Amino acid sequence: MPNLSNLRSLRRVYKHSLSSFQVRAQNTKIGSLGRAGNLKAARKVFDEMPERDVVSWNAILTAHWQNRDLEGSKRIFDSIPERDILSWNSIITGCIENGEPEQAFEYFASMPERNIASWNAMLCGFLRYGCFDKAEWLFREMPEKNVISYTAMVDGYMRHKEIRKARELFDKMPKRNAVSWAVMVSGYVENDMFDDAKKLFDLMPQKNLLACTAMITGYCKEGMVAYARETFDLIQDKDAVSWNAMLAGYAQNGHCEEALKLHIQMVRAGVRPDHATLISSLTACSSLALLQQGRITHALAIKTMLNSYTPLCNALITMYSKCGSMRDSELVFCGIRCRGLVSYNTIIGAYAQHGNYQNVIASFEEMQQNRIDPDETTFLALLSACCYVGQVKDSLKWFDLMVSKYNLTPQSEHYGCIVDILSRSGELEKASSYIKKISNKAENAAWGSLLGACKTHSNVELGELAANNLLKLDSQSSGAYVMLSNIYASAGMWGAVNKVRRLMREKGVKKLPGYSWLEIGNKVRWFTVGDASHPEMVHIVRELHRVTLHMKLSKEVDVGLELD
DNA sequence: CGAGAGCCAT
């Protein structure tokens, strides 16, 4: 026979657990709304709660800084009735995420007690903002360390190019997990130490998804796409990031059809393409100048609402520009809400490629009005614009501005551009004097521009110098031989021409014909020099004559085109 | 429960 008072207490317990269950459900809701970027909705749930626990307060606190409202978080923090360690940890992480590491440390220092997560959060904060001494100090002071503390520190060293220190600490770690190994492998890859990455990768007891992905990137950086594919095929459960790594590898190494195929295979495998997938596909479309495919990718971006993502817009601008549709590039550029440095660099580069110098300058000025400081890439785009339109004077002016006003250091690419500009305008001596400032990596292209210009401006002496230097770097460079023999030919030095031809035969150097292609309607047409296989060749030649005559009659342009 | 990681734009 149940007694009444027992029943009452049972009911009380039941009622209590029901309400705590409801509170917990609301807390979860605040958390997920906050993460989804809907601070307003999260706030509404919080405000309408009849009772709250400390978890509710922590959830709304986190929701605020996750949506870029750190000040809101601070106010909430101050009004929490009973703070726990997680409230402190959350406000610390919030400060770090929103660019206030000093503020984070103030909270950290005044905490009544800390757990390992507090120490780790602060450690990551210092590492992210490059406060290296403070991070090392904190790492020493930590009462206990776990695999996360060690891994974070190793990663921090790698990101700051302290590779030796990273390895030392990695070797000292009491325990390693999948992330620790991945951090080391990707650290080596990031720092162009492929051999070390490979060695470590081979040492791994179990090759995990993360490390394999890092290794794919490593192989692709070295141009070893086939090995990257082998590693890719090893992965059992491929996720979006690993697909993206392989796809990007193909696109960056010129295997663009393969990249686009992989995009389709990824979808078939049931993995959803994300922004990184679309960006790499767009890169592939740009290289192949596939406008239709590029438009399809643009449509996919709109469908998945990724078209408001600035990096994707920048990729779209490049794609449209390289596919010849500058109008679409402009449309995408105008649609970007927050135009940053990269967006301006991209549109300037696009105008440069199209030889629209006026818009290059206009975009540069607009950029300055928006208080965005140009960087090395901006000036490379400006210089390449000068190159396309033959602005010798302006190019030197930009070069000077870059150094004197913005304190930027010109790189090989900048000097290479100057060499190209001076070469094209016939200032061959000046051009060759700039080549000394160029690193081996870019030297090839610079000698190439000089050599080309020596042909146009009939300079045998410098042409020989350029060709010799080019052949020193690449003895199989067919272009160097052909160009040199052309220089001799136009100077009437037939003996020398024959000598070069003989040398070519002896060394087994073959000139592969260059070819190009363009997309008309839905078809890709490709063509090469001397190709007369087209069924409508007669009409094509007639039309070319008509166009050439038209250009010649127009006094403004001297195209230098000769048709027989 | 929390804190570390791999892919992507000029």
Contacts of A70 (CB under 8 A, 6+ apart): A64, A94, A95, A98, A100
CATH number of A411-524: 1.25.40
Identify the pLDDT of residue A518. Answer: 65
Report yes or no: A438 and A419 within 8 Å, Cβ to Cβ.
yes
Each residue's pLDDT tens digit, A180-230 = 999 999 999 999 999 999 999 999 988 999 999 999 999 999 999 999 999
Q: How far apart are CA A461 and CA A278, in angstroms?
A: 49
In chain A, % of residues over pLDDT 90: 65
Beta bridge partners of A517: A526
pLDDT value, residue A12: 65
Digit-coded pLDDT (tens) for A126-159: 999 989 899 999 999 999 999 999 999 999 999 9
Distance A274 CA to B8 C1' (A): 9
* A244 CA from B2 C1′ (Å): 29
Q: Which nucleotide is nearest to A241 (CA to C1')?
A: B7
Residue A248 backbone dihedrals phi, psi, to 5 degrees: -65, -40
A526: DSSP letter: E
CA distance readout (Å), A116 to A106, A146, A208, A273, A537: 17, 8, 26, 36, 76
Q: What is the pLDDT, as a whole number, of residue A480?
A: 78
Tens of pLDDT, residue by residue, chain A (564 residues): 556 666 666 666 666 665 778 888 899 999 989 988 889 999 999 999 998 999 999 999 999 999 999 999 999 999 999 999 999 999 999 999 999 999 999 999 999 999 999 999 999 999 999 898 999 999 999 999 999 999 999 999 999 999 999 999 999 999 999 999 999 999 999 999 999 999 999 999 889 999 999 999 999 999 999 999 999 999 999 999 999 999 999 999 999 999 999 999 999 999 999 999 999 999 999 999 999 999 999 999 999 999 999 999 999 999 999 999 999 999 999 999 889 999 999 999 999 999 999 999 999 999 999 999 999 999 999 999 999 988 999 999 999 999 999 999 999 899 999 999 999 888 888 888 888 778 777 777 777 777 777 788 888 887 888 888 778 888 787 877 787 788 888 888 887 788 878 888 888 888 777 677 666 766 777 767 777 888 888 888 888 888 878 877 765 555 555 454
Q: Which two tokens stand for residue A102?
A: 């000093």
pLDDT of residue A299: 97
User: Per the structure block, which two tokens stand in for A493?
Assistant: 């030095």
CB neighbour list of residue A445: distance below 8 Å, 6 or more residues apart: A416
- Rounded CA gap, A353 and A385, in Å? 7
For chain A, the farthest-separated pair of C-alpha atoms sits apart, in whole angstroms, at: 123
pLDDT of residue A558: 53
Tokens of residue A273, six digits: 């393409």
The nucleotide closest to A235 (CA, C1' atoms): B6
Helix axes A194-203, A178-190, angle to 10 degrees: 160
Query: Strands A523-528 and A515-520: what pairing?
Result: antiparallel
Q: What are phi and psi of A263, to 5 degrees?
A: -60, -45
Q: Which nucleotide is nearest to A128 (CA to C1')?
A: B4
Return the percent helix, strand and coil in chain A, to nearest 5.
70, 0, 25
Q: Are A393 and A427 in contact (CB under 8 A)?
A: no
The structural domains of chain A, with segments of one domain joined by +, span: 411-524, 532-564
* Spacing of A297 CA from B10 C1' in Å: 20
Q: How far is the CA of A235 from the C1' of B6 (A)?
A: 13
**Distance in angstroms, CA of A28 to C1' of B5?**
26
Q: Which residue has the least CA–C1' distance to nucleotide B1?
A: A86
Assess contact for A281 and A250: CB atoms under 8 A. Answer: no
Nucleotide nearest to A84 (CA to C1'): B1
Could you give the CA distance from residue A82 to residue A520 in angstroms, rounded to a whole number? 69
d(C-alpha A77, C-alpha A93), whole Å = 13
Q: What are phi and psi of A426, to 5 degrees?
A: 90, 5
What's the confidence (pLDDT) of residue A1? 53
Q: Which nucleotides of B are covered by protein (CB under 7 A)?
A: 1-10
The tokens describing A501, both together, are: 């031809």
Asked if A278 and A244 count as a contact pair (C-beta separation under 8 A), the reply is no
In this complex, the nucleotide whose C1' atom is nearest to the CA atom of residue A381 is B10
C1’ B8 / CA A219, Å: 17
From residue A496, how far is each of A332, A452, A476, A487, A491 by CA, in Å?
53, 18, 19, 10, 10
Q: Which residues contact A472 (CB under 8 A, 6 or more apart)?
A: none
